[in-house]
Structure 1
Amino acid sequence: MSSAPAPRVRFCPAPSGWLHVGSVRAALYNHLHARRHGGTFVFRIEDTDASRATEESMRSMMEAMAWIGLAHDEGPELAGDGFVTRGEYGPYRQSERTALYGAVARRLEAAGATYRDHRTAEELEAWREAQRAGQGEGPPVVKASRFEHTPEELERFAAEGRPASLRLRTPESGTVAVDDLVRGEVRWDWAQISDPVIARSDGSATYPLANSVDDLAQGITLICRGEDLLSVTPRQVLLHELLTADDGEGSTILDAALAEVGLPARDPSWTRPQAFAHLPMVVGMDRKKLSKRHGSVSIQEFARQGFLPETLRNYLALLGWAPKDGRERLDDDELVAEFELAAVGRSAAAFDVDKLTAFNGERIRDLDPDELAERLVPFLDGTYGDEALVDTPPSEQQVAVLRGLVPLVQERMQRLDEVQRYAPAFLREAVDFEADSVTKVFGKAGSVEAIEAAGRVLANVDFDVEAIESALRGLPEELGIGFGKVAQPIRVAVTGSSVSPPLFESIELLGRQRTLARLEAALPVARDARGER
């Protein structure tokens, strides 16, 4: 018995904005399916809509895919300020395949599979209004083909040079069905399917044509995407049939068009896509469409906020799917081994930022300290922050400080960007005092005395945690106040804030010289807060 051929799947975003978590979840599922079954993951850029596509967005999407770790087998890749292509069946940018779409469209028209629509936008809207008004209580009538131009109109419009779009002629009756791995069999009535525009009046291809041509030309076997594209499916099934049917000359419309424009021929073993998988929407915890009001929605924002890519991969995989044993913590190898599209549910998946954050904290705590120190660098060198606290790359001294800081903050951190709260005190020569901390801590009785006493005892002890703790814990008895009233002024003096990593360890990391200098610099600030001169 021969085994099933390895799948070829694709992720094909339109570069008109940032990469949304719902889109990346679809990319992840395609990636996992390909890896699980020894297949190929194709990355394609669908930039036929020149009014929306931008180079900046394309680069941003590719950077996001690289950050989250979804490496593709075929498609464009970043290379310095430009792009290179990996794979034999490119180009993988639709803007570089326009000649192919034009050749296919001409052949479809010659075969009688399309018709010209010369209506202006205003005329088309008027027709739609009249159509809606005449529907009454009956089923909607949406067949554009029932309103084709007469031969006389076509002749007149051609003489006038009036532009025309090209519409696909869909069947008047009957049904079309697909095997959907998520939804089971899905069936449509052709009478309710409108005739889509497959080429605009300027000749550019629309999504149904370009997407269908490329899926066939690049041998895609499974189309896995969001459920918002489910309604496009019957038209694409029809195009798949038309483009791969025998044209009577020993070829097909698609193969002849590929040969005409000089693009790679299809592998002889490739057929039409054999299955679909339409994924449920990703919504907020309020069950409404995910948007910025729910927090981060773009992958770049998750990177800036300090989420680990492996955390996000793991969490996105669970938005609609779960392994049989119900585990929530899986590494990449386990995701590949366990994932099955047939196990994806049909219900919308709720994105819980709090749960994601908790997952992220768990993974941060499990990181090797040296690895965590490396991962913190982008949040300190200006990559993900306004201020650069370390060099690019960090100096040996800065690396030593980071490695010393990690044990003090690793258990406290939920996100990597939280290091920006702690690190300045250790990477700057001097500190900026938080106004609230000055008022609430320095303004209390005993603050000046605690700072003075700390400077005195720390000047003459071995500078390790045990000696520092022993010296400072002796001050409450000397000053006649509780340890909290001693520790907090010292904490603000050396770190600038009333919230910091453990005090004794922080002082050891700062070192004697900086600690004593900061205590001395804090004294006039504390006296001023107390109203002393």
Structure 2
Amino acid sequence: MSIRVRFAPSPTGHIHVGNARTALFNYLFAKNMGGKFILRIEDTDLERSTVESENLIYEDLKWLGLDWDEGPIKGGEFGPYRQTERFDIYKKYVDKLLEEGKAYKCFCSKEELEVMKEKALKEGKPPRYNGKCRNLTEEQIQQLENKGLKPSIRFKVEQEEVEVNDIIRGNITFKTDAFGDFIIVRPDGTPVYNFVVVIDDALMKISHVIRGDDHLSNTPKQVLIYNALGFEIPNFAHIPMILGPDHSKLSKRHGDTSVNQFREKGYLPEALFNYLALLSWSHPEEKEILSKEELIKSFTLDRVSKSAAVFDFEKLKWMNGIYIRNKDLVELTKLCIPYLINSGLVSNDYIQENFEKLVKMVESIRDNLEVLSEVSDYLKVYFCMNTDFDDSAKEILGYDTTKSVLVSFKNFVENIDELNEDNYKIAIKEVQKEVKVKGKKLFMAIRVGVSGTTKGPELDKLVVNLGKEEVIKRINQVLNLMGE
């Protein structure tokens, strides 16, 4: 079998992480099996679909590393890949179903349908269509159309049950009396999702339909259409939904939910790729940090759980921190630059003139970073001295040895040509010997003396990156404040 899977988003905005996980599972399955990953744009919702949103989808997928083999932009032999460009194809199959008596025109108004629904509910029955227009004659249809009435097209459901074989959930039997004859074309001529998705998947030779389990209830209707048109039914795999930390469906109230929001916060695409792959899927050896290549090699649908996955924001942040620490330092610095500029901490001119110095600064705080957007807060210490001492800094300044440590350290720095790592180590030893202190009273005194705070970059890197003149200036400032 030729493995072909598809991701078919609606262009209404940035991709939600739930849809991104669906795209990712399709991508991993296709690549693992040597198959094709197809992108199809489902834009039949004309009111909500926009070209701008379509471009956002491309942007999100490319950033995440999900490159499609066929689809818009790239093309392919089974196009077009936008549903609005396939209406002629859909009409052909609608006409076929009408001609064969497998579908019919329905002239019932919204008001009539609402009355039917309420009546069924009162009687304790499923709120389905009662078949009023099922047996209209050609003459009756013509009379109604002559009055200017626009019909919807309904699929005629003849079976009592539909069996769906799902790779993840096994065999499931659906009773058709739960939905009855269903609409496949609206009165305005727009075909509905359950109809067009079958036509598209069949003609694009999709072998496996891997999608969220919120589509499971649509599947029996689609199977009926496959059978009615004589199409081969694909393999279905319905993956569980993603829940928020409170175990309700993941939504905006839980925080960031779109790929773009994670990107803007400073999550690396490799980290989000890795994390999403672990939502309802596990590695055979229970590994958690996995490259794209490792995920492709290991991914199989039989390791996808039936249980919903809980989106753990803290775990994603932890994982992102690991990817940050393993990132090439120069590349990491370049990724940090937009955040530094947006915060007003540096300018483009500063970066051009001090890029190597900036790399060293980023190196000194890399282990503290969990997301790139934190970089400005961590690097602020290099650009301005904090003199609004908090309680922990005041405690250090209150030690009876702090002033002696700062004076001794400053005197040593003033008498060297350059403040580098070697000279810093020598200075520490000299101060230790002269003032006879060590540990917290030594190192924290110097940290507060050069930064005004008890937290920040690794002390040796902080001092060296600040440079001789800045260190002297800052210590003098703190000594003056202590004197006051």
Alignment correspondent of 1:208: 194
Alignment correspondent of 1:458: 413
Identity of aligned residues (%): 33
Mark the CA change 1:392 to 1:273 in structure 2 (over 3 Å): closer, same or farther: farther
Structure 2, unpaired ranges of 5+? none
Amino acid at match of 2:182: P
Mark the CA change 1:164 to 1:491 in structure 2 (over 3 Å): closer, same or farther: farther
Amino acid at match of 2:116: W
Task: Determine helix, strand or coil for the equivalent of 1:223.
Answer: strand
**Separation of aligned partners in 2, 1:518 and 1:124:** 78
Mark the CA change 1:520 to 1:98 in structure 2 (over 3 Å): closer, same or farther: farther
Alignment correspondent of 1:254: none
**Separation of aligned partners in 2, 1:436 and 1:480:** 26
**Separation of aligned partners in 2, 1:275 and 1:194:** 24
Deviations 1:427-477 (Å, cap 9, x if unpaired)? x4xx16374549954995578887676555422224113423543675688
Amino acid at match of 1:465: E
Alignment correspondent of 2:41: 45
**Separation of aligned partners in 1, 2:406 and 2:52:** 53
Alignment correspondent of 2:8: 12
Structure 2 contact 4–205 (Cα < 8 Å) conserved = yes
1:409 aligns with 2:365: yes
Deviation at 1:508, TM superposition (A): 0.6
Which TM-score applies when normalising by structure 1?
0.79
**Separation of aligned partners in 1, 2:452 and 2:233:** 62
Alignment correspondent of 2:462: 506
Mark the CA change 1:437 to 1:459 in structure 2 (over 3 Å): closer, same or farther: farther
**Separation of aligned partners in 1, 2:71 and 2:385:** 49
Mark the CA change 1:381 to 1:72 in structure 2 (over 3 Å): closer, same or farther: farther
Deviation at 1:73, TM superposition (A): 0.4
Alignment correspondent of 1:239: 225
Alignment correspondent of 1:433: 386
Structure 2 contact 5–206 (Cα < 8 Å) conserved = yes
Deviations 1:196-222 (Å, cap 9, x if unpaired)? 322222212221122112112211111
Task: Determine helix, strand or coil for the equivalent of 1:38.
Answer: coil
Alignment correspondent of 1:81: none
Structure 1 contact 494–515 (Cα < 8 Å) conserved = yes
Structure 1 contact 6–37 (Cα < 8 Å) conserved = no
Structure 2 contact 388–452 (Cα < 8 Å) conserved = no
Task: Determine helix, strand or coil for the equivalent of 2:224.
Answer: helix
Alignment correspondent of 2:147: 160
Q: How does 1:123-138 map to 2 (within 5 A)?
A: 123-135=112-124
Structure 1 contact 441–488 (Cα < 8 Å) conserved = no
Deviation at 1:366, TM superposition (A): 3.1
Amino acid at match of 2:154: R
1:104 aligns with 2:64: no
- CA RMSD, aligned part only? 3.3
Structure 1 contact 117–149 (Cα < 8 Å) conserved = no
Structure 1, unpaired ranges of 5+? 77-83, 246-270
Alignment correspondent of 1:113: 102
Amino acid at match of 2:173: R
1:305 aligns with 2:271: no
> Which segment is superposed worse, 338-347 or 88-97?
88-97
Structure 1 contact 432–496 (Cα < 8 Å) conserved = yes
1:291 aligns with 2:251: yes
Mark the CA change 1:492 to 1:18 in structure 2 (over 3 Å): closer, same or farther: farther
Determine which of 296, 307, 313 is the counterpart of 1:353.
313
Deviation at 1:495, TM superposition (A): 4.2
**Separation of aligned partners in 2, 1:495 and 1:422:** 12
Task: Determine helix, strand or coil for the equivalent of 2:214.
Answer: helix
Mark the CA change 1:233 to 1:455 in structure 2 (over 3 Å): closer, same or farther: same
Mark the CA change 1:73 to 1:362 in structure 2 (over 3 Å): closer, same or farther: same
Q: How does 1:38-437 map to 2 (within 5 A)?
A: 38-76=34-72, 84-135=73-124, 140=126, 142-146=128-132, 148=134, 150=136, 154-171=141-158, 173-243=159-229, 245=230, 272-382=232-342, 386-387=343-344, 389=346, 391=348, 394-395=351-352, 397-398=354-355, 400-426=356-382, 428=383, 431=384, 433=386, 435=388, 437=390
Mark the CA change 1:437 to 1:217 in structure 2 (over 3 Å): closer, same or farther: same
